[in-house]
Amino acid sequence: MAEALRRQESLPGFPLDRRAFFDDVVLDREFRQVFKESWQLLGFASELPDPGDYLVRRLGNDSVIVARDEQGGFSVLLNSCSHRGTQLCRATFGNAAHFRCSYHGWTFANDGRLVGVPSIRSNYPKDFRKQDHDLPRARVTCYRGFIFATWSDQAPPLEEHLGDFRWYLDAMLDLAGGEWEVYGPPQRSVMKGNWKVVTDNFAGDGYHMGTTHQAAFEQGIYGDSLADGTLGKGELELIGINIGTPQGHAVRAGYVVQKGRRTLPSTVTDPAYIGYPREVWEQFTAAQTPEQVRFNSHCEVVHGVVFPNAAFLSVSHDRAIGRENDPLTKYVVWRVHNPIDARRTECTYWTLVPRQLDEDWKRRSYAFQARSQSAGGILFEMDDFENFARIDAAISGTVADTAPLDLSLGLGLGTPVPDFPGPGRAEYLTLSEHNQRAFYRRWAELMEEGTRD
Amino acid sequence: MTDAAALTARLDPTDLPYELRPFPARGARRTELDNSFAAFLTEESAALDECRYQDWLDLLDERFIYQLPVPLLREDPSLPRHSDRALLFEATKQVLAMKLGRVGLQYAWSDRPSGVMRHFLGAVRVFSAAEPDTWRVDCNVLVTWSRGRDEAVVVTAGRQDLVHCSGRGGYRLLRRRVLLDAEVATHEQLSVIF
């Protein structure tokens, strides 16, 4: 299958084999070659404030325990007893210094060391050594509160994996003083469809907005969000910029500009942070580098992907889905899309809020995410789920399977953004599958490894 | 003191919109009211099931807030099974009116074709509530939703309502909190209105 994708890439139109979206044989290979070899987002440090706090998450197709130890560090441990494979933690989160297996009582410290084996002196061979049976530990790196892990010994350090994307992550976090926290436990849901379908949608699919979300726009769920109404909606439009990296990561940023402009201004004299209180704009500007200000100012929407399966979105709503006096308020949601099988995906949603803003703002930001784009977001998210399920319903027939999918939107049509403040190749093209192509190029590279001889 | 506690302490709770107030605790059990509230909720569900959406919206107070807290799977059964902070979904009356108004829009994909929804209510129990002329009404709900060959959903939940009743027979929903039984629901289960 990966071979087929590589062959077809030389054809016009960047076709993709449909088998990638419904075949469990492909998913098996993805688990071994894409997920196991990549860093994956597991959660956030603010979810584990105290020593002993733990969460149960998925790393590829393995259940793992993410635990904060007594020294404040994080361990990511296989959630399966070294004795007979029993799941150690059945709850999704809690606080424990030790994990005791429910079957025969083997007990592990929250850093993965096997510390207790019933009847060890009387009934185990003399050469049985507990330290040979510790829980497998994944490599873990906490970058600015984002907990990433990988099972791979060969994967480069996280910072290298993030590559150019790291600059964009820093810029998005530094926008609001750098300190963010997760608002409450994450939302989770199960959707129909392959994990890549929902993920590539976040990478750069501005194209679906006008069709998939036509009803949401007709109902005006974004209210006056375009530039806070300060310049008058009729005078403004959105310019989309795409950045796809060799590691498969993607950023798509939409900027508000005066109608008729085709390019971003090269300097920002009056920074505006759409969806954040005006009182903090000056403070926000002071906390950023001039390049970060240029990236964040007048940015109405930004979304993207951290390869392979994390995605993010930042956008604003106002009284259209709130109360009468609710101001335009931004929300930032990070998501992970974990395959359950080739045709079902578990989505986890974390809403991040800047620590420095008050509780009223945080609650409103969270409410706007919960009302529009949460797992139960009936005005917006459901139309995406509907389309992902419609893909799944029709993609796998005998004839359907023979027709490749197309990812050629904008191919060769984007133009470089001169002096763009961030690294990587940023290109202008509001509607383009540039970022999806970067995502699938990286995916194909990993899937093809070991098949080239 | 947490930010949330500080916010709550700063204001008289009755000045806050319902979404920021704690959900009202159960007061005294009022068995003599069970039948009349059950009759109200039966008609209310029928309005949804029969797609009489304006009839249903007319039963909501302007301050109405609808919330699905995030279910929590914890080790200790004595701890709450749902978050008091995180929500799978929240809606005002206006948001629900937009949702129900989608059936009139040609490109509301997830509502066209529409599915068939049915509410099955069990064991309606009425309790006193602190606010004047309001009652807390708890019941179990089983909701089904079906569309086409492959889409059939069954979802169970505990439902907690705060209902205003002036005594002249007019009932209005002030709050609805839906406590899902499943820890992780499917997108179809989350697309129903409980």
**Res. B156: pLDDT tops 90:** yes
According to the model, what pLDDT value does residue A64 have?
A: 98
Q: Give me the residues paired with residue A351 across strands.
A: A333
Which residues contact residue A448 at a Cβ distance below 8 angstroms, ignoring those fewer than 6 apart? A2, A3, A5, A6
Q: Please judge whether B109 and A366 are an interchain contact, meaning their C-beta atoms are less than 8 angstroms apart.
A: no
**Res. A286: pLDDT tops 60:** yes
Q: Do domains A40-150 and A163-448 have the same CATH topology?
A: no
Instruction: For chain A, report the end-to-end CA distance as a whole number of angstroms.
Output: 15
Q: Please judge whether A371 and B90 are an interchain contact, meaning their C-beta atoms are less than 8 angstroms apart.
A: yes
Q: Which chain B residues have a beta carbon less than 8 Å from that of A91?
A: 73-75
What is the rounded CA–CA span in Å between residue A93 and residue A111?
Answer: 16
Q: Residue ranges of the domains in chain A?
A: 40-150, 163-448
Chain A interface disruption, residue of B83, B87, B112, most A CBs within 10 A: B87
Residue A223, Ramachandran bin (φ over 0: left; ψ between -120 and 50: alpha; else beta): left
**Res. A453: pLDDT tops 50:** no
Peptide bond into A423 cis (omega under 30): no
What is the rounded CA–CA span in Å between residue A421 and residue A267?
Answer: 10
The model's pTM is 0.93
Q: Please judge whether A321 and B68 are an interchain contact, meaning their C-beta atoms are less than 8 angstroms apart.
A: no
Quickly state the pLDDT bin for A227 (edges 50, 70, 90): very low
DSSP string, A363-381: HHHHHHHHHHTSTT-TTTH
- Please enumerate residues of B whose Cβ is less than 8 A from a Cβ of A: 3-4, 6-7, 17, 19-20, 68, 70, 72-76, 83, 85-92, 94-95, 98-99, 101-102, 105, 107-110, 150, 183-187, 190-191, 193
Q: Which chain B residues have a beta carbon less than 8 Å from that of A375?
A: 88-89, 185, 187, 190
Inter-residue contact A435 to A203 (CB < 8 Å):
yes
Q: Averaged over A263-291, what is the pLDDT?
A: 92
CB-based contact (8 Å) between A102 and chain B? no
Burial class (CB in 10 A: 0-12, 13-18, 19+), A381: buried
Q: What is the percent of chain A where pLDDT is above 70?
A: 93
**Res. B34: pLDDT tops 90:** yes
According to the model, what pLDDT value does residue A12 have?
A: 52
Q: Is B63 helix (H, G, I), strand (E, B) or coil?
A: strand
Q: Averaged over A399-413, what is the pLDDT?
A: 86
Q: Indicate the average pLDDT of chain B.
A: 91
Name the token pair of A368: 């706007």
Q: What is the percent of chain B where pLDDT is above 90?
A: 74
**Res. A242: pLDDT tops 60:** yes
What is the rounded CA–CA span in Å between residue A275 and residue A327?
Answer: 8
Query: Beta strand pairing status for A426-428 and A53-59?
Result: unpaired
Q: What is the percent of chain A where pLDDT is above 90?
A: 70
Name the token pair of A195: 């994990």
According to the model, what pLDDT value does residue A224 have?
A: 61
Inter-residue contact A335 to A312 (CB < 8 Å):
yes
Gap from B118 CA to chain A (nearest CA, Å): 18
According to the model, what pLDDT value does residue B2 have?
A: 47
Structural fold of domain A40-150: Rieske Iron-sulfur Protein (2.102.10)
Select from 3.30.1240.10, 3.40.50.850, 3.10.450.50, 2.40.160.40 the CATH code of B25-191.
3.10.450.50
What is the rounded CA–CA span in Å between residue B86 and residue B181?
Answer: 16
Instruction: Give the model confidence (pLDDT) of A171-203 as tens digits.
Output: 999 998 889 999 999 999 999 999 999 999 999
Phi/psi at A29 (5° precision): -65, -40
**Res. B171: pLDDT tops 70:** yes
Name the token pair of A373: 């784009």
Q: Please judge whether B88 and A185 are an interchain contact, meaning their C-beta atoms are less than 8 angstroms apart.
A: no
According to the model, what pLDDT value does residue A264 have?
A: 87
Q: Please judge whether B89 and A360 are an interchain contact, meaning their C-beta atoms are less than 8 angstroms apart.
A: no
Architecture of domain A163-448: Alpha-Beta Complex (3.90)
Residue bearing tokens 């209310």: B44
Instruction: Look at residues A333, A303, A322, A336 and name the one whose alpha carbon lies nearest to residue A180.
Output: A333
Q: Which chain B residues have a beta carbon less than 8 Å from that of A393?
A: 150
Quickly state the pLDDT bin for A381 (edges 50, 70, 90): confident
Which has more pLDDT, A229 or B17? B17
**Res. B130: pLDDT tops 90:** yes
